[in-house]
Amino acid sequence: MKIVGYNINGIRSGINKGLSIWIKKYNPYILCLQEIKALQNQINTNIFEKLGYYHYWHSSVRKGYSGVAILCKEKPIHVEYGIGLESIDKEGRVLRIDLKNLSIISIYLPSGNNMEKRLDFKFFFMKKFFIYVKKIQKNLKNIIICGDYNICHKPMDIYDPIRNRNISGFLPEERKWMTNFMRLGFIDSFRNYVKNAGHYSWWSYKYKARIKNIGWRIDYIMVSHSLKKKMINAYLLPEIIYSDHCPTVLELKK
């Protein structure tokens, strides 16, 4: 079972570039998308139905902004849109599906790049999402959280940790939150298999950053410890270029 997370940075743009061709070829069992930047009625969802997917969309109220989605080969027994907090849910940042023995969350953490206007909201989101996950853990044991966390956890996850140490995405407070979040009982699936630096999931469109591999690893698939024995492999797909991000992949035994 391949579970994929991908910040597509515009689902309509991705479709126009041939995203569905890649999905058909790669055939993930579950695909979690972030930053879809569209309402469901603006998307040709027939494409995904023909590929055999049930599909669920949690769009931002603001058009052309944010939004998450999940495509799944299996029909969920429950779908949860948001975390029950209007100030967060109106931006379409959290979507959960519950299968028989597995729960999948597609998450898009806010960016704090505009540190004057959005950094406080990012920390607010982080606090509330932490509480939300603790709450659902009381009833759900096998949880996978796929998405764009907009945080580099360790110095090896960012091209230049020294010059970026005061930039949102690599602030000490953000990195500490990531450590504490994982202590809720989650494994950074990629780091479970790949221990060395130089692997990134996002590159700026400027300065030929992707060609030069000047990047940040801000996209993760976090896996409950209860699923560790079912993990087969985890990796990135930097050669897939429908976005300024690349897909993250987890291979799991059914």
Which runs of E-coded beta strand occur in 9-132? 30-34, 54-58, 68-72, 78-81, 94-98, 103-108
- The architecture (CATH level 2) of 2-252 comes to 4-Layer Sandwich (3.60)
pTM, full prediction: 0.97
Q: Looking at residue 115, what is its pLDDT? A: 67
- Read off the pLDDT of residues 165-185 as tens digits, 9 standing for 90 and up: 999 999 999 999 999 999 999
pLDDT above 70 covers a percentage of the chain that reads: 100
Angle at 154 between CA 242 and CA 104, to 5 degrees: 55
160 is annotated as an active-site residue: no
Q: Give domain limits for the chain.
A: 2-252
Q: Looking at residue 238, what is its pLDDT? A: 98
* Per annotation, catalytic residue among 89, 98, 120, 148: 148
Q: Looking at residue 112, what is its pLDDT? A: 81
- Which of the residues in the chain have pLDDT under 70? 115
